[in-house]
Chain A
Amino acid sequence: DQQVKQNSPSLSVQEGRISILNCDYTNSMFDYFLWYKKYPAEGPTFLISISSIKDKNEDGRFTVFLNKSAKHLSLHIVPSQPGDSAVYFCAASAMRDAGNNRKLIWGLGTSLAVNP
């Protein structure tokens, strides 16, 4: 049972345009969400996070939007650059997990290609 779903396996956009990556979740206990980027042969790199008490968080070209009622979040990259081409993972956690451990539940990832 996939609790974090990234329904688009791939996305292709032109350089300079907006990239929108989507993520849906089913567990209402999730209250912290993160986006990671992964290049081939490297580990995931943290991009941006959002707590459930917010509906938007912005960091430079990256903005994450959270719609709790729809259990949906999205990552916007504006403007997109060829170096953004990577696999993007959405991950979620429930801060009230027993032991306060950092169990992250991950989606399957979306492969973004930004074309020059």
Chain B
Amino acid sequence: ETGVTQSPTHLIKTRGQQVTLRCSSQSGHNTVSWYQQALGQGPQFIFQYYREEENGRGNFPPRFSGLQFPNYSSELNVNALELDDSALYLCASSVDRTANSPLHFGNGTRLTVT
């Protein structure tokens, strides 16, 4: 069984640029969530995708957008990067969108904005 994989592992971008982060969900999982974890903080919910549609969103501006594909893999896109976007971005998949199916996380993408 393949777990959640994220790419790239590390990324350095300049303020104002755009970035795309990728996530392959665990086999059999149809729900993907994205979280941002700043240094010394807990993960913050960005949004969730269920069967290719956004199913919930946290307090992030519209320049954070996402996609989920028919194979349930997902992308997180961030436009007009700001210095505060520097963080670890975590993707998690689950069997379904209900609360009692645990999230399985990838190892994250470390984004640095200079």
Contacts and interface: CB of A to CB of B under 8 A. Distances in A.
Interface of A: 4, 31-32, 34, 36, 41-46, 49, 51, 89, 91, 93, 95, 97-109
Interface stretch (B64-72, B75-83, B92-100): B92-100
A102 B100 contact: no
A49 B94 CA distance: 15
A89 B99 contact: no
11 contacts: A31-B99, A36-B105, A89-B42, A95-B98, A98-B56, A101-B56, A102-B103, A103-B48, A106-B43, A107-B42, A108-B41
From B43, B100, B104, residue with most partner A Cβ within 10 Å? B43
Contacts of A109: 42
Interface residues of B, number: 29
Contact of B45 (A32, A99, A104): A104
Closest 4 CB pairs of A and B: A101-B56, A106-B42, A43-B105, A46-B102
B97 A108 contact: no
Interface in B31-47: 31, 33, 35, 40-45
